[in-house]
Chain A
Amino acid sequence: MNRLNRVAVAVARALAWLLPAGRRDWVAAVWAESQEVPPGLARLAWRAGGAWVLAREALMPRRLGRGAVFAAAAGAAAWAAWPQPTVGHAAVSQFHVIATVLLLAGLPLLARRFFGPATPSRAGRFLRVFSCAAILALMPAFAIVEAFAELTPKQPAYQRIACPFQGCGAVPGNSTGGPPWAGEIPLILMTIAYLGVILFLTSQRSQVTRGTLAIGAGTGLLFSVVMYAVAPLGLTNDATDPWLPGSKADPLVALAWILLFGGPAAAAALAARRGRAPGGAALPRNVRMGQGIAAGVLANGTAALFVSALGTGTTALMLRSAWLLRWLNHGQHLTAIAAYRYENNAGGGAAAYLFMLIWFPVIGLFMSALGAACTPLGRPAPRELTPVPATPGNQ
């Protein structure tokens, strides 16, 4: 116990130096007060609590900390996604990087202005933070995969794999890069839609309850994990599900189908049935339907976003790392051309994530509307009132 106390003393003293001068008195105050606490576990708990306070105070400028973390992450992602000079459509790709970072930095501020502050629920915070992280991670991953997929190989043998019919559009050794302007605008609109919907649903003005957010986020997380296990490298036959036996009737594949259609319906039914105001009062029928639809859209939307970030990230990592390529094909001897074919299939298969990003939330919307509509939402039972005995005062 003495040793633990000494450790707590050392931690507190070390942390005191991290605090501004005005806060150091509080360190001394907690410490001096601990002498009054009975020795033993109680004193240790007091000091541990004091150390926790100090750690929090040392990290007090949270907004500053969050801003620094975001700036560092956005800077790293932008650096990784910034197009090489040899890549075509460089101006479009540069616009994509700048616009994505600006949207991630600016939309939360706009959302606060129009939708009010973020909901204090953990599920809401999780959704906001991880959605922003997923969009940020998608940016360099997408750029790497696009640059590879549009690369014209130098060797004719590789060109036969990469450009089988119409041929590649760039000089051998160069890449046409990401999409042109016509493809870029829908991508940016999709980013705005995802961020906007998540920021709205996790804001206080949306009236989406904590339970609904938790149900939506939980279902989406489960679906994204299953979907990632099924399709870690897009949806092509050659490059996907390296750990699955390859049968279309694999239980994991069946579970993914069930979650795609049944997940939002079940989440909607659950959220609509559990819909309660903060005070515990039952919500009107139309509000409960809204809660159900929000849960279903969140479930499929977050699943699409997370699995896209994970899958595109894995594909990009595999294209940059020979180690991952070998690990995914362990036990097999890959010739150089076989490895290239595998990478080419994975690069092409990553386009499937765009399909998921567009259609999963739409499926979620329809299935959740169906699920909420089929859920019996009877009128809440009136509270039983115990009649008070009649007294002269209330006759």
Chain B
Amino acid sequence: MTPSPGFSAQTLSVLAALCDQPSQWQHGYALAKQTGLKSGTLYPILIRLADRGLVEACWEDEPQPGRPRRHLYRLTAAGLASATGALASAARPKATKAARTRAVRGAVARAVP
């Protein structure tokens, strides 16, 4: 799957959090703490990613005593490829801009003795 150019900054932050440990299942609250997103923002993103087959979700096998079972999330193979591509392309323009700024500054420095 090709990286989608339609990822918002919040979606990218969720993808980045899931990419940190792609093989590990993660909880919603842990993701919220990692990304700084509220539940009202985080869950619609997870729902959309799951709908697109980029994230898989399952229920905890062995819940802690006295606690309900928790929902767990991790990237699918397609999700990992998509997230890697999207995060790389999100970082690329910054690198290009920085390189351009360095080049312009270098040119100015050469022109101004």
The A15-40 residues at the B interface (CB cut-off 8 A) are 23, 25-26, 28-37
Which residues of A have CB within 8 Å of B28?
29-30, 33
Interface status of A394 (Cβ within 8 A of chain B)? yes
A118 to chain B minimum Cβ distance, whole angstroms, is: 16
B36 at the A/B interface (Cβ < 8 Å)? no
- Once the chains are docked, how many angstroms separate the CA of A48 from the CA of B38? 10
Instruction: Judge whether A275 is part of the interface by a CB distance below 8 angstroms.
Output: no
Is B27 part of the contact surface with A, judged by Cβ < 8 Å?
A: yes
Q: Known: A26-B47, A37-B29, A389-B109. Is A32-B40 also a contact (CB below 8 A)?
A: no
**A50–chain B nearest beta-carbon distance, Å:** 5
Is B68 touching A388 in the complex (CB atoms < 8 A)? no
Assembled-state Cα–Cα distance A386/B71 (Å): 52
Are A30 and B29 within 8 A (Cβ)? no
Number of A-B residue pairs with CB-CB distance less than 8 Å in the complex they form: 81
Task: Check A45 for interface membership: any CB of B closer than 8 A.
Answer: yes
Complex Cα distance A47/B67, Å? 16
- CB of B108 within 8 A of CB of A387, answer yes
Chain A neighbourhood of B57, CB < 8 A: 25, 29
Given A32-B70, A37-B29, A49:B41 Cβ within 8 A: yes
Contact with B47, one of A31, A57, A388 (Cβ below 8 angstroms): A57
Instruction: Among A33, A56, A395, point to the contact of B29 (Cβ < 8 A).
Output: A33
**Residues of A contacting B106 in the complex (Cβ-Cβ under 8 angstroms):** 388, 394
Task: Indicate if the CB atoms of B110 and A52 lie closer than 8 Å.
Answer: no
Complex Cα distance, B39 from A122, in Å, reads: 24
User: What is the chain A residue whose CB lies nearest that of B106?
Assistant: A394
- Knowing A30-B28, A33-B27, the reply to whether A48 touches B105 (Cβ < 8 A) is no
Q: Which residue of A lies closest to B72 (CB)?
A: A29
Question: Nearest chain A CB to B94's CB is how many angstroms away?
Answer: 13
Given contacts A49-B40, A50-B40, A53-B39, contact A33 B105 (CB under 8 A): no
Q: Is B104 an interface residue (CB 8 A)?
A: yes
Please report the C-alpha to C-alpha distance between residue A153 and residue B58 in the assembled complex, in whole angstroms. 75
**Which of B29, B38, B40, B57: most chain A CB closer than 10 A?**
B40
**In angstroms, how far is the closest chain A Cβ from the Cβ of B78?**
19
- A53–B71 touching, CB < 8 Å: no
Within 8 A of A (CB), among B34-57: 38-41, 43-44, 46-47, 57
Partner of A385, one of B29, B38, B69, B105: B105
Would you call A50 and B109 a contact (CB within 8 A)? no
B112 at the interface (CB under 8 A from A): yes
What CA separation (Å) do A57 and B59 show in the bound complex? Answer: 20
How far is A57 from B40 in the complex, measured between Cα atoms in Å? 11
Q: Does B108 lie within 8 Å of A26, measured CB to CB? A: no
| Assembly CA distance A33 to B57 (angstroms) | 14
The reply on A261 being an interface residue by CB < 8 A is no
Query: In the bound complex, do residue A386 and residue B105 qualify as a contact, i.e. CB atoms below 8 Å apart?
Result: yes
Is A36 a contact partner of B71 (Cβ separation < 8 A)?
no
In the complex, whether A342 has a CB less than 8 A from a CB of chain B is no
Residues facing B in A369-395 (CB within 8 A) are 385-390, 394-395
- CB <8 Å contact, B108 and A32: no
CA–CA, A45 and B70, complex, Å: 19
Interface residues of B in 1-57 (CB under 8 A from A): 27-29, 32, 38-41, 43-44, 46-47, 57
Chain A residues closer than 8 Å to B41, beta-carbon distance: 49
Task: For residue A38, give the distance in angstroms from its CB to the closest CB of chain B.
Answer: 10
Taken residue by residue from 43 to 83, chain A's Cβ proximity to chain B (1 for < 8 Å, 0 otherwise) reads as 00111111011001100000000000000000000000000
Interface string of A295-310 (1 = CB under 8 A from B): 0000000000000000
> Which residues of the other chain, A, contact B104 by a CB distance below 8 angstroms?
385
Contacts of B105 in A (CB 8 A): 385-388
Contact A28 to B71, CB < 8 A, known contacts A33-B29, A52-B40, A56-B44:
yes
Binding site for A on B (CB under 8 A): 27-29, 32, 38-41, 43-44, 46-47, 57, 59, 67-71, 102, 104-106, 108-110, 112
A-B contact pairs, 23 of them (CB 8 A): A23-B47, A26-B43, A26-B46, A29-B57, A29-B70, A30-B28, A30-B43, A32-B67, A33-B29, A36-B27, A46-B32, A49-B43, A50-B40, A53-B43, A56-B44, A57-B44, A385-B105, A387-B108, A387-B112, A388-B106, A388-B108, A390-B109, A394-B109
- 9 new A-B contacts, CB < 8 A, other than A25-B57, A28-B68, A385-B104, are A32-B68, A45-B38, A46-B29, A48-B40, A50-B39, A52-B40, A57-B47, A385-B108, A389-B109
